[in-house]
């Protein structure tokens, strides 16, 4: 058989050799040795793949579950298992696979609705008494969780709601279980403080039920804090983003859900020792103080020890009494001042002062009304006498006259008159008209 397999291997390597293969990656396994193993599939077939020293290979970053890639590989046979496989030399992304595309589309949709927001996530209680488990009743994940709970917190009561975690329709069972555990009284279940929802590792197809929208919305609507524990540490599902807390593995979920009983006991013992030591130290200090007082002045003369304190109390009492009396006196003076100000500002007093001011203004107005006409009349008489003294009438009274030309202008010179012109002459008692004749 070894020779047959070796001949088949040689035939494949010679006849097919190195070639490009395109498909979708699933069941990715990264070994500590640096070698990666995965499957490459299309609609009709799949083949096992190996990439040695993967991180050094070109395009290794494109190799993730669900990704659609093109790989340059050599056809071969794994003789130990008689398994056909290809040895990948390099890879490049050919576009997201169908599952990865669905994953990214749902992730964008739920993120836009706010289902991933941190402010809507509920805190996990630090000391739960009852923990609900939504997982397979026969899977290794359940045993891992129960083992951790029994070791860390044996007082916690686990409540299992067994569901299928793989295969068609399993997502509906998971969603219904979460809904029922969120409303336990309606279905006769005990109320839990926290739920752990998950399963063990597997390929992207195996974990796909936890990428379904119905499961994500059930987790988001659950009133109880939900810890998502799906697959291994490198596996991420939609449930991880929606859950209130994501655990890398089911065992880690149990560790996150409960405190370590042994650690709590050790801390309590440490606190007890510290409290005991502190109490003993304080009691010892108090005992020493009492012994010192017994040996000191208290033993000889207790009244003398208290004398100074009594005097201080008396002095403080006197100061307090004196200070209180001064304060009351100052307050009484201040009260008197405020009353006087209040009396002066009383509306009746203000109105009285305003009425006095109005009466004064009325008297000034009346006096001014009487004095102004008299003053104006006297001034008018003075102006009238001045006008008579300085005006033309006074000249008329002294025998003078005024000669006016035909245009009404005063004649001040004989040369301004022409023969034949008419002129007027004004006297004190009238006027005459005359015609200028030549000399």
Question: Tens of pLDDT along 128-160?
Answer: 999 999 999 998 999 999 999 999 999 999 999
Report whether pLDDT(95) > 60: no
Q: Tell me the C-alpha distance between 249 and 148, whole Å.
A: 12
Residue 29's CB is within 10 A of a number of other CB atoms, namely 13
Q: Do 30 and 83 lie in a common domain?
A: yes
The 10 Å Cβ neighbour count of residue 396 is: 15
Structural domain contains residue 361: no
Q: Does some domain include residue 376?
A: no
- Mean of pLDDT over the chain: 85
> What is the spatial distance between Cα 293 and Cα 158, in angstroms, rounded to a whole number?
61
Last residue of a domain, one of 248, 271, 294: 294
Reported pTM: 0.49
Checking if the pLDDT of 345 tops 80, the result is no
CATH of residue 237: 3.40.50.2300
Query: Which 8-state DSSP code applies to residue 55?
Result: G
Contact 194, 257 (CB under 8 A): yes
Whether residue 134 is found in the same domain as residue 74: no
Contacts of residue 418, defined as CB under 8 A and 6 or more positions apart, other chains included, come to 436
DSSP helix/strand/coil, 99: helix
Determine, yes or no, domain membership for 337. no
24, 99 in Cβ contact below 8 A? yes
> Measured over all CA atoms, what is the biggest interatomic distance in the chain, rounded to whole angstroms?
182
The CA-based angle 202-217-208, given to 5 degrees, is: 20
In 3D, which of 126, 225, 218, 204 has the Cα closest to residue 172? 218
62, 32: one domain: yes
Q: 213-221 and 98-112 are packed helices; what angle lies between their axes, rounded to 10 degrees?
A: 30
φ and ψ at 89, to 5 degrees?
A: -100, -40
CATH of residue 6's domain is 2.40.50.140
Residue 14 lies in a domain: yes
Whether 12 is in a domain gets the answer yes
Distance CA 284, CA 282 (A): 5
> Does the structure show a pLDDT above 70 at 239?
yes
pLDDT: which is higher, 342 or 68: 68
- 69 and 153 in a single domain? The answer is no
Q: Would residue 81 count as lying in a domain?
A: yes
Which H/E stretch holds residue 291?
helix 261-295
Question: What residues contact 118, with CB distance under 8 A and at least 6 apart?
Answer: none
140 and 24 fall within a common domain: no
Whether the per-residue pLDDT at 168 is higher than 70: the answer is yes
The per-residue pLDDT for 177 is 95
The reply to whether 230 and 276 lie within a common domain is no
What's the pLDDT at 70? 86
Strand partners, 21: 71
> pLDDT tens digit string along 5-59?
777 877 777 778 888 898 999 999 999 888 999 999 988 889 999 999 988 888 8
If one counts the domains in the chain, the total is 4
Nearest residue to 217 via CA among 256, 245, 176: 176
Within-domain flag for 373: no
Residue 379 neighbours by CB under 8 Å, 6+ apart: none
Residue 390's pLDDT is 67
Residues 381-423: pLDDT tens digits? 888 877 766 666 666 666 667 787 777 777 777 777 778 788 8
Domain-ending residue, one of 74, 96, 118 = 96
> Is residue 166 helix, strand or coil?
coil
For residues 289 and 235, membership in a common domain is answered with no
Same domain, yes or no: 132 and 255? yes
Residues 6+ apart with CB under 8 A from 64: 25, 28, 100
* Residue 323 lies inside a defined structural domain of this protein: no
For 328, half-sphere exposure in the C-beta direction (CA atoms, 13 angstrom radius) is 6
Range of the domain at 282: 263-294
Residues 11 and 89 in one domain: yes
Q: Which of the listed residues 44, 72, 96 is the one where a domain comes to its end?
A: 96
The answer to whether residues 156 and 253 belong to one domain is yes
Let me know whether 77 and 132 are in one domain: no
Same-domain pairing of 230 and 270: no
How much of the chain exceeds pLDDT 70, in percent?
92
Q: What is the pLDDT of residue 389?
A: 67
């Amino acid at each position: 058989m070894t020779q047959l397999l070796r001949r088949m291997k040689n035939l494949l390597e010679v006849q097919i050799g190195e070639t490009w293969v395109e498909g979708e990656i699933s069941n990715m396994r990264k070994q500590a040795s640096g070698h990666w193993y995965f499957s490459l599939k299309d609609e009709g077939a799949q083949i096992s793949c190996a990439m040695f020293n993967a991180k050094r290979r070109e395009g290794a970053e494109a190799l993730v579950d669900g990704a659609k890639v093109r790989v340059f590989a050599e056809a071969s046979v794994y003789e130990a298992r008689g398994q056909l496989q290809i040895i990948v030399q390099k890879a490049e992304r050919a576009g997201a696979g169908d599952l990865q595309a669905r994953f990214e589309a749902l992730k964008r949709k739920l993120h836009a609705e706010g289902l991933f927001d941190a402010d809507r996530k509920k805190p996990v209680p630090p000391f739960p008494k009852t923990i609900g488990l939504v997982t397979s009743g026969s899977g290794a994940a359940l045993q891992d969780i129960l083992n951790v709970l029994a070791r860390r917190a044996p007082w916690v009561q686990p409540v299992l709601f067994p569901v299928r975690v793989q295969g068609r329709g399993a997502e509906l069972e998971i969603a219904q279980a979460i809904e029922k555990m969120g409303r336990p009284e309606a279905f006769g279940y005990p109320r839990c403080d926290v739920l752990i929802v998950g399963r063990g590792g597997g390929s992207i197809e195996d974990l796909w039920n936890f990428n379904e929208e119905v499961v994500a919305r059930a987790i988001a609507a659950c009133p109880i804090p939900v810890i998502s524990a799906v697959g291994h540490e490198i596996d991420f599902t939609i449930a991880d983003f929606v859950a209130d807390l994501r655990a890398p593995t089911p065992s880690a979920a149990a560790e996150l859900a409960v405190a370590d009983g042994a650690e709590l006991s050790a801390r309590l013992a440490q606190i007890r020792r510290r409290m005991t030591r502190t109490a003993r130290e304080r009691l010892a200090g108090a005992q020493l103080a009492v012994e010192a007082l017994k040996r000191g002045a208290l033993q000889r003369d207790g009244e003398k020890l208290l004398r100074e304190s009594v005097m201080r109390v008396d002095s403080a009492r006197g100061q307090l009494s004196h200070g209180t009396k001064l304060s009351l006196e100052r307050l009484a003076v201040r009260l008197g001042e405020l009353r006087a100000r209040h009396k002066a500002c009383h509306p009746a007093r203000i109105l009285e002062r305003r009425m006095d001011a109005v009466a004064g203004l009325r008297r000034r107005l009346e006096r001014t009304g009487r004095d102004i006409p008299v003053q104006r009349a006297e001034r008018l008489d003075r102006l009238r006498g001045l006008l008579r003294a300085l005006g033309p009438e006074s000249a008329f009274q002294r025998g003078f006259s005024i000669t006016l030309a035909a245009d009404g202008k005063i004649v001040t010179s004989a040369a301004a008159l022409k023969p034949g012109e008419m002129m007027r002459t004004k006297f004190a008692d009238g006027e005459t008209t005359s015609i200028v004749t030549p000399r």
